[in-house]
Chains A and B, each alone.
Chain A
Amino acid sequence: MSDSPSTPPFISLTDVTKTWASGSTVLDRVLLTVAKGDFISLIGPSGCGKSTLLKLLSGLSPLTSGRITLDGMAPDAAREIMSFIFQDATLLPWRTVLGNVELGLELERKTTREQRRAKCADLLKLVGLADVASHYPRQLSGGMKMRVSIARALATRPKILLMDEPFGALDEMTRDFLNEEVLRLRENDRFTTFFVTHSVAEAVFLSTRIIVLRAKPGRIEREIPVPFPFPRTASLRSAPEYLALVGEVSAALRAVKALA
């Protein structure tokens, strides 16, 4: 948002439309620009196309019409600078925690084994998982699995992070804890984030902007800026202005749901 009109936005979506083979249009002419370092939360009723939008951004699914550019690149090419975090942690069960975190770097084949090991061991320390580095995923709790998944996504130092309801399956305490962790990691890396969630509180806590989508067809109904400065801490959750904004976003979400 701070971009001057002459520099192109970091990420831009122009008339992004997605129609399935069945003929149903899930996203209709979505228009959005995102500045570097933004943390964008996408909320909206189930089936409005939030996951689909992330799939389009990542190039995992092709657009029907419109244009997406990410740091000047088309989605396919921008994968180099992007990581995707899925709702289930999608860890490889036959690899240890360390082995999972190494995956992205290993597939890129730009680093030696020793470099990867060292880098990922450091990263595990950063997310507090150093002592389970040699464990297998089945030995971890849901929250720990998700932290491994986040560490794996960050290992390649992405400029853009796509997260699809990463904490949806976790209990509230774990979720709050991981929210704070995400903010902490963001202070280090300054990645630009698209974050899909059903939790208004989580969206307000994390975001710089909240995008409220409506369904059938999926469109942006409202954009709500979140003005609280960073670094944010857990104490924000009891601040009156935070609670007021949660109330406002909840009302917007209810209004959108009523449309459908």
Chain B
Amino acid sequence: MKKLLRSAGWPLGVLLAVLALWQGACVAFKIPGYILPAPPAVWAAVIERHESLINAFRITALEAAGGYAMSIMVGVIIAFFFAQSPVIRRSFFPYTILLQTVPIVAVAPLILMWFGSGLRSVMLVAFIICLFPIIANTTQGLITVPKNLVDLFTMSNASRAQVLLKLRFPHAVPNLFVGLRISAGISVIGAITGEFFASSNAVGQGGLGYSITYANSQLQTDYLFALVLTASALGFLFFFIVIFFEWLFLHQWHEAAMKPEAE
């Protein structure tokens, strides 16, 4: 715990330095608040609008988590399918790369048009953006099992299902977590992007994405900053939840998951 505090010291120092610079610039150049609000103004907005921030946080968290959870389930199943044969991988993998390369801002309006602008459509946008890292990393883990371990299972006349569930999947768990870390952050981006295109009345009071467009159009730049701050907090929260589970599942046996030694 002490170590954690000490390692948190450096990034905190950086944060303080950035805040000081920011404040200094605002004062020195007399930047108007609607272009760049000073840190105290942002903080004031956080306090003043905390109710709507929490509300937006809740909505976006739900959308992001929903899409994320779906992407884990579907992604792992697709990876299982890909692990079955190189022919399957060669045939289908190029199409999963599409998930990564097609810009989500172009797809989001289509999805909202097809499925209506609701919670589910926003989840779907988050789902799509999260899917690729899960598929790619899990597949990688499933197919890189050392040959000797496969031979060991063959010697026991293991069934295909046994090889998949008792060998390939556990071997792929560390890789799965690499995908989960990546997707944790981008699920929030996906949800916010989805909300940009969803109309407010359909998504309750509006999540962070909707509120950001609103604040922007009203030139409430301090509120906008408060929203961005909240969105980052959400991303961090997801990320740390994943890190916790990664530690929980891997620390006992996986070398890389153990705490790195002090330098």
Contact = CB atoms under 8 A, between A and B. Distances in A.
A138 B253 CA distance: 7
Contacts of A86: 148, 151-152
Contact of B149 (A82, A92, A138): A92
Nearest to B154: A60
A255 B37 CA distance: 86
B149 A90 contact: yes
B151 A107 contact: no
A114 interface: no
Interface stretch (B123-131, B165-173, B181-189): B165-173
Interface string B240-255: 0000000000001111
Interface string A89-124: 010111100000001101110000000000000000
Given A60-B151, A107-B162, A136-B252, A79 B167 contact: no
B152 A90 contact: yes
A103 B157 CA distance: 12
Given A86-B148, A88-B148, A92-B167, A58 B155 contact: yes
B146 interface: yes
B158 interface: yes
B155 A94 contact: no
A80 interface: yes
B156 interface: yes
B153 A107 contact: yes
Given A60-B155, A80-B157, A93-B254, A107 B166 contact: yes
A80 B153 CA distance: 12
Contact of A83 (B155, B167, B170): B155
Interface string A51-92: 000000010100000000000000000011011101010101
B241 to A, nearest CB: 22
B199 to A, nearest CB: 48
A93 B167 CA distance: 10
Range, interface on chain B: 20 to 34
Nearest to B151: A60
A137 interface: yes
B156 A104 contact: yes
Contacts of B173: 94
Contacts of B152: 84, 86, 90, 103
A210 B67 CA distance: 63
Contacts of A138: 253, 255
B187 to A, nearest CB: 27
A1 B149 CA distance: 35
A94 to B, nearest CB: 5
A93 B253 CA distance: 6
A137 B253 contact: yes
Contacts of A136: 252-253
A143 B45 CA distance: 63
Nearest to B157: A79
A68 to B, nearest CB: 15
A84 B155 contact: yes
B175 to A, nearest CB: 13
A120 to B, nearest CB: 14
Nearest to B174: A94
A79 B155 CA distance: 6
Given A92-B167, A93-B253, A137-B253, A103 B146 contact: no
Interface in B177-201: none
B253 A94 contact: yes
B167 to A, nearest CB: 7
Contacts of A93: 253-254
A88 B253 CA distance: 18
Contacts of B153: 107
Contact of A108 (B156, B166, B170): B156
Contacts of B154: 60, 79
Contacts of A90: 146, 148-149, 152
A217 to B, nearest CB: 24
B147 to A, nearest CB: 10
A106 B165 CA distance: 13
A87 to B, nearest CB: 8
11 contacts: A84-B152, A84-B155, A86-B148, A86-B152, A90-B149, A93-B254, A103-B166, A107-B153, A107-B157, A107-B166, A108-B157
Interface of A: 58, 60, 79-80, 82-84, 86, 88, 90, 92-95, 103-104, 106-108, 136-138, 156
The 3 residue pairs across chains A and B that have the minimum distance between CB atoms = A107-B156, A136-B253, A94-B170
Given A58-B155, A79-B156, A90-B146, 6 more contacts: A58-B151, A80-B157, A88-B148, A94-B254, A107-B153, A107-B162
